[in-house]
């Protein structure tokens, strides 16, 4: 609910969800806006878009959804009937469709292929390719950088040893390898961090986030708002620093007595600290327990 209070600043405005998923946020926007509002969505998961369009079919507002990575928003604007927005949402979490479908390989809870591509219908490297072809050092870097996993070396070594006798093809194989070197009560958290790190590396998620954020400034109308929901510290750190820089504006070195760059502030940060879910919200949706919301308004 707090997301809607922050983001929906104009009852008949134009809003875009750059991570539309199954359309849950767009559906909620529809229920909290007038029928004159315009709603837009972007997602690169073809299966999710199909479900979202069905879910949103009875909404009274004009709704348009495009299939693309959100970092390409500047290139796909021509597909939409507007080119600027009163509110932009980035929800960086996985959709329930991706998590719950074992054939996608995102979760260690069930057995499935080591895929983890956001759009499995596109040709490209899978998680299995990454695990079977990367060097031990490359695996260590992935687990430590994107998962902040302290046992990255031990896990990477175990994977390299195992793949000498069997190609890694399933999530169960990966889970068994990790559990063979990590012991209770730390197994589940370690599994979550390793699976997360592989997904982020494979899909280039942090690079995509860094690419899209500067583009969004020009897409916001005056007093429009950008809201970002992140789910781990690496994402949140990128968003926090971007918001701070946009609020500061000036990029001159600290020892300059007078600004010479001429860059004015673009944003006003509305959330002094990242907002986290309440106990009630977590009880309703346990997957939201690690979510952090940051919102900024365009000056």
For the cut 70, the answer to whether the pLDDT of residue 175 exceeds it is yes
Question: What is the C-alpha separation between 117 and 122, in angstroms, rounded?
Answer: 8
Question: What is the C-alpha separation between 18 and 41, in angstroms, rounded?
Answer: 6
Domain ranges of the chain: 2-97+205-298, 103-203
Question: What number does CATH give the domain 103-203?
Answer: 1.10.150.170
Question: What is the C-alpha separation between 183 and 225, in angstroms, rounded?
Answer: 45
Give pLDDT tens digits for 109-130. 889 999 998 877 666 889 999 9
* Residue 254 confidence (pLDDT): 77
* Residue 240 confidence (pLDDT): 95
For the cut 80, the answer to whether the pLDDT of residue 219 exceeds it is yes
Does the 2-97+205-298 domain belong in CATH 3.40.50.150?
Answer: yes
What is the model's pTM?
0.86
* Residue 177 confidence (pLDDT): 95
Q: Any idea which of 95-99, 110-114, 155-159, 263-267 has the lowest mean pLDDT?
A: 95-99
* Residue 124 confidence (pLDDT): 80
Question: Which residues have CB under 8 Å from 173's CB, separation 6+?
Answer: 114, 162, 166
Give pLDDT tens digits for 16-32. 999 998 899 999 999 99
Judge if 2-97+205-298 and 103-203 fold alike in CATH terms: no
Question: Which residues have CB under 8 Å from 25's CB, separation 6+?
Answer: 3, 17, 89, 91
């Amino acid at each position: 609910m707090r997301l809607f209070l922050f983001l929906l600043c104009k009852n008949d405005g134009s809003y875009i969800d750059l991570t539309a998923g199954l359309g849950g946020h767009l559906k909620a926007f529809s229920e909290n806006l007038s029928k004159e509002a315009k709603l837009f969505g972007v997602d690169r998961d073809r299966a999710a878009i199909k479900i979202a369009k069905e879910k949103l079919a009875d909404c009274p507002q004009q709704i348009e959804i495009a299939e693309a990575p959100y970092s390409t928003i500047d290139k796909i604007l021509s597909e939409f009937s507007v080119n600027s927005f009163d509110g932009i949402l980035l929800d960086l979490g996985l959709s329930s469709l991706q998590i719950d479908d074992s054939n996608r390989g995102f979760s260690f809870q069930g057995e499935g292929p080591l895929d983890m591509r956001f759009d499995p219908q596109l040709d490209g490297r899978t998680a299995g390719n990454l695990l079977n072809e990367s060097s031990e050092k490359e695996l260590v870097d992935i687990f430590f950088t994107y998962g902040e996993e302290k046992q990255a070396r031990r896990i990477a070594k175990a994977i390299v040893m195992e793949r000498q006798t069997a190609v890694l093809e399933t999530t169960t194989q990966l889970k068994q390898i990790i559990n063979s070197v990590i012991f209770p009560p730390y197994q589940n958290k370690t599994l979550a961090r390793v699976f997360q790190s592989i997904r982020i590396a494979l899909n280039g998620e942090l690079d995509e986030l860094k690419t899209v954020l500067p583009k969004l400034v020009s897409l916001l109308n005056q007093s429009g708002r950008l809201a970002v929901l992140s789910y781990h510290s690496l994402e949140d750190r990128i968003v926090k620093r971007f918001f701070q820089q946009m609020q500061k504006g000036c990029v001159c070195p600290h020892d300059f007595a007078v600004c010479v760059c001429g860059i004015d502030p673009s944003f006003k940060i509305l959330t002094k600290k990242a907002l986290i879910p309440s106990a009630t919200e977590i009880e309703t949706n346990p997957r939201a327990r690690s979510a952090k919301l940051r919102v900024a308004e365009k000056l």
